[in-house]
Amino acid sequence: MNSIKSVPARVLSRRSGHSLEAEREQFDKNQAISISKAINTQEAPVKEKHARRIILGTHHEKGAFTFWSYAIGLPLPSSAILSWKFCHVLHKVLRDGHPNVLQDCQRYRSNIRETGDLWGHLHDRYGQLVSIYTRLLLTKISFHIKHPEFPPGLEVSDEVLEKTAGTDVNNIFQLTVELFDYLDCELKLSESVFRQLNTSMAISQMSAVQCRLAPLIQVIQDCSHLYHYSVKLMFKLHSCLPADTLQGHRDRFHEQFRSLKNFFKKASDMLYFKRLIQIPRLPESPPNFLRASALAEHVKPVVVIPEEAPEDEEPENLIEISTASTTEPQITSDIFEQTFGPPNGIRDDRDAQIESLKKEVDMLRAEMEKIKLEAQRYITQLKAQVNSLEGEVEEQRKQKQKALVDNEQLRDELERLQKVKQDSDRSQRLCAEAEKRANATEIRYTKLKEKHSELINTHAELLRKNADTAKQLTVTQQSQEEVARVKEQLAFQVEQVKREAEMKLEDQSVQMEQLRQELDARRDELDQAQHSLSHAKQAGAELSAQVEALHAEKEVLRRSVSEKECELLSTRGLIEEKELQLSQEADKATREIRELQGKLLEKSNQEQSLQQKLLDEQFGILQETVREAEDILRDAMAKLDDPLHVRCTSSPDYLLSRAQAALESTDALENGHAQYVASMADAAGLVGALALFAHLMADTIVNGSATSHLAPTDHADRLTETCRDCGQRSLDYLGELKDKQTLRRAELGDVQQALRGVLQLAQELRPKSLDIKQEELGDMVEKEMASTSEAIEDAVRRIEEMMSQARNKSSGVKLEVNERILNSCTDLMKAIRLLVMTSTNLQKEIVESGRGAATTQEFYAKNSRWTEGLISASKAVGWGATQLVESADRVVLHMGKYEELIVCSHEIAASTAQLVAASKVKAEKSSRNLARLQECSRNVNEMAANVVASTKSGQEQIEEKDTMDFSGMSLIKLKKEEMETQVKVLELEKRLEGERVRLGELRKQHYALAGTYDAMEDGEVKPAPAPRRGILKKPPLAQKPGHREPEQDAGPYPPHGANV
């Protein structure tokens, strides 16, 4: 068996020092020291070097696990200052630590929230600040977890900001609101800190004030970035949304701008911030987001931190007690010396002695630490050796007899070792007492320094008073004696202050001498303790193995017996606790059951009352709806006998659609009635169906009355009575709904029967010329368009034939006129042919885009009115082309009149306008075919105008005008000719008036046959049917009154069929 003495202690120390475990222990130790020094109860700012070590630790281990393992053990609820400095350190770690720190802090959100809630409920000045600071930290963690593109330091480029915002306005809007909330939390913390400082009239050079001001450095850094990002996003929002929508955003930004500008101004005026951070300047007025060019004027605020910012640290301990390694000694300067300098420019010997004592204490502490570590390793090796000695238990049992003989000697030696151990413990206690005395001395030294600084301040104040007195002396000669007396008093006070300061310094030197003596004594005691500890190690190495072997079995048995006894006692205690707990739980359960039963009974009563109230409210809503429906129906029925309504007219087709819609609404009303009868707590379905039924029924009655004004007397009377019957039966049905007893058995059978009567009468009144099967409409459209194209092609051929004949039979002026007229007619036919082709393509596009899953015939049948208008327009174009060719033929053969050709040109222009209007009703506004159709229509109008112009010019060339020579007539002859001419003029005017009347009657008859007379009066436009080829009637002109574009099918609800 190898002995422990065979391994040198230096070798073991070197091996353990280079292991990863030792490095981890050293890292944890350094982090614990830095955290304990940074987060303490002293009302002073956190030292930058301690915070920097903590931040470097997060980068070393790539996270904040070690920081939080120590932070959760801090007694935060016991001290508000401790919680405040913890928040400050956590803010710095979040900003400058490793990126993984954010995820680690997310896991400890509950601890941060609990700390804030605790201090938020207490009336403590630091406590209120802690509550606000924790809310800021929680907002910061949440924002950066949600938006990982923004690091906790908030430093991103404008490109990353644009990419994060994206192009979706909703995302930009939400991101702007979150940045505003973030900035509000930062500004609220700064306002709270300055509010407390204003109330206490604090000076920024005091440590207590600096403790509150230190976290505002990180707040300034965050606010500069948040302000810049808010400005960028606000300009982007104003480029996407109207200004009125963003009025609330602008108001909130302006309020934050004023608060941030005030915060930066206050901070810039403080001496504490001037040497730690360069605060940016904000513009005098906020950016004008309503002017896009203002973005170029925006300057990003930049915060500059000096590379080596001076630390406003607290005074270092006179004798620093720490566990730092000797390889990294902490060299700190005296804050008193930094502030005031050594007296008379010469370094005091006491300072050198203090520094030497510090070094000696550090060396002693390091040696003590080495001794402790060596003892720890020694104990660890002993434990390992115990495991190896267990295999030799059997061999030691054989030597048991011999060991019993030596037992007495071993006991004596053990007592001696116990005494040595007690001496070692006593030496350790003496060391601890020495450290306590050193701490007390350090505290006294700190107090002396504070007192000395107060005396210096008093001295400075007295000197200022002395200067003021000297100024008053030059102004007022009468108070010289009094000023001299004041000077003497001031001089006496100054001398007294100096004497007190010197006495304090002498006391300090005495205390330092006592401290040095105590350190020497403690050093001697430490040497003795080391010597005794070395002896104890040697003796323990020899006896521990034997003692462990002898007592191994005894300890095993003793542990087993004690374990059993402990288990028995714990089992008994558990049984008693369980019995007591079960009895308490049973009593509690009984009380809870009684309370719950009472609450349940109360709830059931409340539910019954609420249910009854709900039924009453629903029935009341139904009654209000019924009364409103009755008013609507009575108003509609009043129109039946209203003489002012006689001028209102409507068409049977519109009445048919309104009556059909009213009949369909009765099905929804029956379903709503059935649902309400089944569950009277919900009357929404019945109320909605009842409102729709009332409006549709009133619309049917009004349009029935309007239709009867144009119907034959028999049909008009029957229609009026049927509409009155519909209204009366509807009122009867509504009357049944007003009573709870008759509500359940109310039926709509009579109302539906009356509506069917209206439908039948409307069907009988429809024009017979529209009785075309809807299945045939699709084929008719294609046939009519094809026949129109054929008619135009035939017209072009006939014009070419007439052109060749005119060249053969005519010559001179007549040939020139005929060629010009026929050429213009040819151009017109070509333009019409192109118009028809374009219209055909547009119809195909309309059918393909509107029919969906239906067939082409179903689409035409569904839009029958539009289809009939299209057919009528197509027929009119073909008829006009044929008539133009026949008129041109007669003009060329000198058998017709030039006026016929002009009228035919006007008719063709009107027909093509009707075709264009019928085609563009259902076309999309952005359709290319529609644009081409409109261009073709304008071209047709130009060609028709050319035909008219060429016809008029040809007529003027051919007709010979007689020269009016009245020079040979006498006065009587001239008078006679004048009277005869007046007679002819009157005859011609009479004939002209008669022809105009005849033209009006012809147009009226044409409208009647085309079925458009009712559309002229009631506003509902129907396409005119095509004229029969046997009769060869003219189609309506585009400019005639009442002939408008065919409208799309009206919606199912608004009653607009009757017009005055």
Residue 648's nearest CA partner among 637, 656, 640 is 640
- Categorize the per-residue pLDDT at 420 as very low, low, confident or very high, splitting at 50, 70 and 90: confident
CA–CA distance, 1046 with 838 (Å, rounded to integer): 19
At 767 the pLDDT is 61
The dihedral region occupied by 63, where left means phi > 0, alpha psi between -120 and 50, and beta the remainder, is left
pLDDT per position as a tens digit, 366-381: 878 778 777 777 777 7
Report which of residues 227 and 892 the model is more confident about. 227
Report the sign of the C-alpha dihedral through residues 587, 592, 597, 599, in that order. Answer: positive
Report which of residues 481 and 723 the model is more confident about. 723
At 622 the pLDDT is 85
Report the sign of the C-alpha dihedral through residues 689, 690, 691, 693, in that order. Answer: positive
DSSP 906-926: HHHHHHHHHHHHHHHSSS-TT
The H-or-E segment that residue 175 falls in is: helix 169-200
Tell me which range, 5-19, 169-183, 479-493, is most confidently predicted by mean pLDDT: 169-183
Please check whether residue 828 is in contact with residue 944, taking contact to mean a CB–CB distance below 8 angstroms: yes
Whether 334 has a pLDDT exceeding 60, the answer reads: no
Please check whether residue 625 is in contact with residue 687, taking contact to mean a CB–CB distance below 8 angstroms: yes
At 220 the pLDDT is 92
Buried b vs exposed e over 521-531: b needs ≥16 C-beta within 10 Å?
ebeebbeebee
- Categorize the per-residue pLDDT at 3 as very low, low, confident or very high, splitting at 50, 70 and 90: very low
The H-or-E segment that residue 386 falls in is: helix 349-389
Q: Could you tell me the pTM of the whole model?
A: 0.35
Please check whether residue 414 is in contact with residue 543, taking contact to mean a CB–CB distance below 8 angstroms: yes
Residue 163's nearest CA partner among 177, 147, 179, 178 is 147
CA–CA distance, 608 with 604 (Å, rounded to integer): 6
- Categorize the per-residue pLDDT at 135 as very low, low, confident or very high, splitting at 50, 70 and 90: very high
Q: How far apart are the first and last CA of the chain?
A: 125
What's the half-sphere exposure (Cβ side, CA atoms, 13 Å) at 543?
A: 18
Whether 199 has a pLDDT exceeding 60, the answer reads: no
Tell me which range, 57-71, 604-618, 916-930, is most confidently predicted by mean pLDDT: 57-71
pLDDT per position as a tens digit, 875-895: 777 787 777 778 777 777 777
For residue 608, what are its two tokens? 């019954």
CA–CA distance, 16 with 373 (Å, rounded to integer): 10
Tell me which amino acid residue 998 is: R
At 1020 the pLDDT is 37
- Categorize the per-residue pLDDT at 1021 as very low, low, confident or very high, splitting at 50, 70 and 90: very low
Whether 327 has a pLDDT exceeding 70, the answer reads: no
* Class of residue 626 by CB neighbours under 10 A (exposed 0-12, middle 13-18, buried 19+): buried
At 473 the pLDDT is 59
pLDDT per position as a tens digit, 737-755: 888 888 888 888 888 899 9
Stretch 964-983: mean pLDDT, rounded?
Answer: 75
Please check whether residue 700 is in contact with residue 662, taking contact to mean a CB–CB distance below 8 angstroms: yes
Stretch 1014-1021: mean pLDDT, rounded?
Answer: 37
Segment among 93-97, 211-215, 794-798, 983-987 with least mean pLDDT: 794-798
Whether 700 has a pLDDT exceeding 70, the answer reads: yes
CA–CA distance, 674 with 662 (Å, rounded to integer): 19
Whether 155 has a pLDDT exceeding 70, the answer reads: yes
Stretch 154-178: mean pLDDT, rounded?
Answer: 86
Number of Cβ atoms within 10 Å of the Cβ of 563:
10
Whether 1032 has a pLDDT exceeding 50, the answer reads: no
Whether 107 has a pLDDT exceeding 80, the answer reads: yes
At 450 the pLDDT is 79
What mean pLDDT, rounded, does the chain reach? 75
Report which of residues 1060 and 140 the model is more confident about. 140
Residue 264's nearest CA partner among 326, 310, 222 is 222
Angle at 528 between CA 523 and CA 529, to 5 degrees: 95
